[in-house]
Amino acid sequence: MNIGFIGLGIMGKPMAKNLLKAGYSLKVYDLIAAAVDELVTAGAERGANNADTARGSDVVITMLPNSPHVKAAVLGENGALAGLAPGAVLVDMSSINPIASQEICREVEKKGGFMLDAPVSGGEPKAIDGTLAIMVGGRQDVFDRVEPILKVMGASVTLCGGIGSGNTTKLANQIIVAANIAAVGEALTLGVKAGVKPEAIYSAIRAGLAGSTVMDAKAPMMMDGNFKPGFRVNLHIKDLTNALDTGHDVGAPLPLTAAVMEMMQWLKANGYENEDHSALVRYYEYLSKSDVRR
């Protein structure tokens, strides 16, 4: 099966490499030539543009920052849609607005193709390991065709419903992650201000009901002051923007999401937008005039 892969950023590059390792024939494209060069060295074919990358591909995967980027790459000049063959499948693995997924799908279907929206969770480490959680929206028969490919990149691959359902589920995921990180930062700050060491709090509660994958991943980063990005603040702002917009569209109240969004906007305003989202603890440290370092 021939696969076209568009978007070789912090997530897309390792995902594409895993497909190569699994033996798939891959044609790749990205605006950053060095990223393409690296994949070509690893065994991929170079695509001249988005349309050329889609041409001859049974499945075209896009992994891009946000809705406008996906629309431009698929529907714009020399977009993937121009090279997409009838019967081919576009799998958009970007995290975008569910409404945009539905709009793009309609254009793909007019061309005789099929589409899945399949955003991922897990950040760069799980993209490298091929253990991402992949949330998929689209038709069951199309999902069945593409599922073996997705399982190369993810440990968990779940069909959530019709087109747009994958991105709706991803937004729900991002709400829970953001609120959880904020709660961890708030709790550790409380402990420090009350004279309890943050590592003692973390060790004592991580095995109980308050424990979580998010806590295990982010509390050590907070305590070490290590904000090297696994998932950048500016990308989480993008996801929460999409969540709030979708909530407004469907009438879902999202007050916790709005509160954490304001914390992240503070981080952006203070120059921390390219740090890991565990940097939310900086907001509490600023307000409390303390730090949670161990």
268 is known as an active-site residue: no
Strand 120-121 and strand 114-117: the pairing is unpaired
Q: How far apart are CA 250 and CA 148, in angstroms?
A: 33
Q: How far apart are CA 277 and CA 120, in angstroms?
A: 16
| Greatest CA separation for the chain | 65
Q: Look up residue 19 and give its amino acid.
A: L
Instruction: For residue 271, report the phi and psi dihedrals to the nearest 5 degrees.
Output: 85, 15
Q: Which of 170, 193, 197, 228 is catalytic?
A: 170
- For tokens 């070509």, name the residue: 40
Q: How far apart are CA 168 and CA 137, in angstroms?
A: 9
End-to-end CA distance of the chain: 50
Q: Look up residue 66 and give its amino acid.
A: N
Q: What is the DSSP string of 138-180?
A: S-HHHHHHHHHHHHHHEEEEEEEESTTHHHHHHHHHHHHHHHH
Q: How far apart are CA 119 and CA 170, in angstroms?
A: 6
Nearest-10 crossing angle of helices 255-269, 280-288: 80
Active-site residue list:
170
